């Protein structure tokens, strides 16, 4: 009946693997699906089948997802597909795990006449960040950078999702030395003020269910049939909650694609999916391996690429779709060319087909800005899915704007307080405090240091130079504004000294700012201009209706599809983006690379017709290597053989001219393992990927082996 309905009313012919899933009735089941396999269609059809064929009450079926957007989307699709067939379709429950936990806590608060307030959510977002900022300042006596704030937030989520003990939190692999102190203070403050963040919804609900039999029984009666979508994203605490509310019959159907696990950094754990069969010894396992979305060339290339991961279920990914277009790699000369040519390619696509959909995807939100700038200039409409403008509040952008403002307002102490140690002049904290206590409010602060304090000769020279550089800044235009701040005012020097941001990532931000600042006539215009761009982006974001072009981070593009996908900035250190913690283990590096590879796979499989991956040879005028993922993809392309020969020749030639390069992405040769790619580099070792195997080799040893091999050639 359901199959007939889908075929007749919606022209959807389910394949035999999908039909098997739809017919699954009771007991635990794991559905291993591939990208574009119609997971949502399957869950909706199985729900309809339970109601129509198995006579299950619609309100007894509960489907949980991980994001609000997916829950809303599924509810909408279920109603669109089956509302005319199932009069009580609205009674089927679709929600997020968080909202399920919220109901548990709400119930508890009613019964115990206690209350709690959320410090996250649409209107509350800043509350949590404000609290973390204050706690950081309390422990470090310093202001927190946006990067550190994000990292602390992530670590808190990670610890909670893994139900970590105090001892485990103390041992967490992080550069933030006082993290466990910050964590304790945060927890104490929330407990005292009855506040909860989103992750607390999970941990508190878990504890309630674990320690209170009545709650456990009450909520396990909530549904007879449970379905869990995006199972690959489940975290340990979420999985514990689900297991606690399952009744003895364990009617749960979990659907996911382990190749699309992209939230491990936040707490999801692929091992839960991989261990499903061990947990439920009598479970069934289904596969849906046909991709209905992508052209066969995209499937062939992306499948070969993801097979480089070792920790995954083997799946026979296939499609019956035609070839469509071969995935393409484009190496541009510099970041500017990448933006211009990408927009040009997109415009041509739209000329060919004004209804086609285009996704521009990137690993870091900052990559979106030059494209946005270019699209705005050409008045091409677009949509931005996530917070691309967050970079405008990045501390580097704030510093640059403050330096400009300070040049115009040299008496303003608030401005100088934030930047005095980030610019030339060697101003010490005590000197600044001393002069701020004695000078009158309208006095030029740096001049006051010169006239009122007893300072060394070298500093007199530096301060005089700084005063004239700040004056000179007011005369600069366009790119020269930024160059002057970086070089003459000393901001570049500070970036190099500062360990909290990698040079590559500051280079990336600077390169983006260079592109945005080009047409600025005088420094003071810069702040307004950034506000204008932000306003435009928000306008486009709010605009309803269809837009051909969508800009999105790869993370936010999960679950979506476009006719044409452009993945930009596929550059070393941008993707894969690896954390460079001091004590990081080899296993951790490999796990991170595998997660990044999954992320790239998600990006590629968003495309129906063609995926174009681009990189630029230079960023901020500095040579830039392409991501080694592109080497892995090149091996899958039709022209791979001849291309590999070229690469090999290129490296052979290069090696005869200079020492072998052990930089990430370099192709190297080992006497036993053959050709490999350097995928990670530390001061004393490198990790080299030879085919599907990864080897950790000490730098000293690697140097010897690789040179020996080359000499023999």
Closest distance of CB 22 from ligand ATP, Å: 11
Helices (H), 579-665: 586-604, 628-634, 640-657
Cβ at position 480, least distance to ligand ATP in Å: 46
Instruction: Give the nearest distance from C-beta 560 to ligand ATP in angstroms.
Output: 7
Q: Least distance (Å) from ligand ATP to the CB of residue 256?
A: 9
Q: How far is the CB of 103 from ligand ATP (least distance, A)?
A: 26
Q: Would you give the distance in Å from CA 575 to the centre of its chain? A: 10
Q: Are 515 and 339 in contact (CB under 8 A)?
A: yes
The answer to whether 38 is a known ligand-binding residue is yes
Q: Which is nearer to ligand ATP, 288 or 688 (CB)?
A: 288
**Closest to 142 measured CA to CA, from 176, 102, 188:** 176
Minimum CB separation from ligand ATP for residue 315, in Å? Answer: 12
Q: How far is the CB of 386 from ligand ATP (least distance, A)?
A: 17
The answer to whether 35 is a known ligand-binding residue is: yes
Is 41 annotated as contributing to ligand binding?
A: no
Nearer to ligand ATP, 129 or 319 (CB): 319
Length of the chain: 713
Which of these, 35, 31, 66, 28, lies nearest to 233 by C-alpha position? Answer: 66
User: What does each C-alpha distance from 349 to 322, 346, 357 come to in angstroms?
Assistant: 20, 5, 9
CA neighbours closer than 13 Å in the CB half-sphere of residue 153: 20
Question: ω before 576 within 30° of 0 (cis)?
Answer: yes
Q: Which is nearer to ligand ATP, 21 or 195 (CB)?
A: 21
Dig out the tokens for 696 from the structure: 């950790």
Nearer to ligand ATP, 30 or 432 (CB): 30
Rounded distance between C-alpha atoms, residue 410 and residue 414, angstroms: 10
Nearest distance, CB of residue 577 and ligand ATP, angstroms: 22
Q: How far is CA 569 from CA 55, 514, 612, 626, in A?
A: 52, 16, 11, 9
Residue partners of 650: CB distance under 8 A and separation at least 6: none
Residue 36 marked in a binding site: yes
Quick one: 302 or 592, whose CB is closer to ligand ATP?
A: 302
Pinpoint the alpha helices (H) of 83-178: 97-112, 125-140, 146-161, 166-170
Residue nearest ligand ATP, CB atom distance:
38
8 A C-beta contact, residue 208 and residue 236: no
Contact positions vs ligand ATP (CB under 6 A): 12-15, 18, 33, 35-41, 257, 260, 292-293, 559, 605
First to last CA, the chain: 68
Please tell me whether 425 is known to bind a ligand. no
702 annotated as belonging to a binding site for a ligand: no
Closest to ligand ATP by CB, 38 vs 676, is: 38
Secondary element (H or E) of residue 407: helix 395-408
Nearer to ligand ATP, 44 or 630 (CB): 44
Contact 245, 219 (CB under 8 A): yes
The nearer residue to ligand ATP, 526 or 564, going by C-beta atoms, is: 564
Binding residues: 33-40
Binding residues for ATP: 33-40
């Amino acid at each position: 009946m359901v199959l007939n309905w889908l075929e007749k009313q919606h022209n959807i012919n389910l394949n035999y693997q999908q039909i098997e899933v739809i017919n699954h009735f009771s007991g635990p089941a794991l559905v291993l699906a591939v990208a574009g396999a119609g997971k949502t269609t399957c869950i909706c059809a199985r729900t309809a089948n339970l109601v129509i064929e198995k006579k299950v009450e619609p309100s007894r079926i509960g489907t949980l997802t991980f994001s609000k957007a997916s829950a809303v989307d599924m509810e909408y699709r279920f109603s669109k597909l089956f509302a005319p067939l199932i009069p009580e379709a609205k009674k089927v429950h679709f929600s997020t795990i968080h909202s399920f936990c919220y109901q548990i806590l709400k119930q508890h608060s009613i019964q115990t006449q206690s209350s709690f307030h959320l410090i996250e959510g649409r209107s509350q977002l800043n509350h949590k960040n404000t609290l973390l900022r204050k706690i950081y300042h309390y422990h470090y006596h310093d202001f927190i950078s946006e990067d550190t704030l994000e990292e602390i937030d992530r670590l808190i989520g990670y610890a909670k999702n893994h139900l970590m003990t105090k001892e485990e939190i103390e041992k967490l692999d992080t550069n933030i030395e006082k993290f466990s102190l910050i964590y304790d203070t945060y927890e104490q403050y929330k407990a005292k003020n009855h506040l909860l963040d989103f992750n607390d919804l999970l941990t508190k609900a878990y504890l309630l269910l674990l320690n209170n039999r009545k709650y456990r029984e009450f909520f396990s009666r909530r549904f007879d049939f449970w379905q869990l979508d995006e199972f690959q994203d489940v975290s340990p605490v979420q999985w514990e909650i689900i297991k606690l509310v399952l009744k003895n019959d364990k009617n749960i159907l979990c659907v996911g694609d382990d190749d699309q696990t992209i939230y491990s950094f936040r707490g999801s754990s692929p091992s839960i999916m991989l261990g499903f069969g061990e947990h439920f010894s009598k479970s069934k396992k289904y596969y849906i391996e046909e991709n209905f979305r992508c052209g066969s060339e995209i499937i062939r290339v992306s499948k070969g690429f993801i097979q480089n991961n070792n920790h995954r279920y083997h799946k026979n990914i296939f499609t019956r779709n035609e070839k469509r277009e071969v995935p393409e790699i484009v190496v541009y000369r510099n970041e500017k060319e990448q933006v211009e040519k990408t927009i040009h390619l997109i415009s041509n696509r739209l000329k060919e087909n004004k209804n086609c959909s285009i996704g521009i995807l990137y690993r870091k939100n900052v990559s979106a800005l030059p494209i946005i700038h270019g699209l705005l200039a050409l008045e091409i409409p677009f949509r931005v899915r996530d917070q691309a403008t967050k970079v405008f509040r990045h501390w580097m952008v704030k510093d640059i704007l403050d330096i400009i403002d300070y040049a115009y307002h040299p008496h303003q102490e608030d401005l100088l307080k934030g930047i005095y140690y980030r610019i030339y002049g060697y101003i010490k904290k005590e000197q600044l405090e001393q002069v701020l206590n004695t000078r009158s409010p309208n006095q030029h602060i740096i001049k006051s240091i010169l006239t009122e304090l007893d300072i060394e000769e070298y500093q007199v020279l530096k301060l005089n130079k700084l005063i004239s550089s700040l004056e000179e800044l007011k005369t600069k235009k366009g790119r020269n504004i930024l160059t002057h701040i970086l070089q003459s005012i000393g901001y570049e020097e500070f970036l190099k000294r500062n360990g909290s941001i990698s040079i590559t990532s500051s280079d990336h931000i600077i390169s983006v700012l260079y592109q945005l600042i080009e047409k600025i006539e005088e420094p003071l215009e810069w702040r307004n201009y950034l506000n204008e761009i932000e306003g435009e982006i928000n306008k486009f974001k709010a605009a309803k209706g269809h837009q051909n072009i969508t800009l999105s981070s790869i993370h936010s593009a999960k679950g979506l599809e476009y006719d044409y996908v452009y993945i930009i900035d596929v550059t070393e250190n941008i993707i894969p983006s690896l954390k460079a913690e001091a004590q990081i283990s080899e296993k951790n590096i490999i796990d991170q690379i595998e997660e990044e590879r999954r992320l790239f796979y998600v990006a590629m499989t968003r495309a129906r017709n063609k995926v174009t991956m681009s990189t630029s040879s230079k960023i901020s005028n500095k040579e830039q290597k392409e991501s080694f993922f592109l080497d892995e993809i090149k091996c899958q392309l039709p022209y791979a053989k001849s291309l590999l020969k070229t690469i090999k020749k290129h490296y052979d030639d290069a090696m005869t001219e200079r020492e072998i390069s052990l930089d990430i992405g370099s192709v190297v040769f080992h006497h036993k393992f053959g050709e490999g790619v350097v995928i990670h580099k530390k001061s004393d070792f490198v990790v080299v990927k030879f085919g599907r195997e990864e080897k950790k080799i000490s730098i000293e040893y690697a140097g010897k082996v690789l040179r020996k091999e080359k000499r023999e050639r």
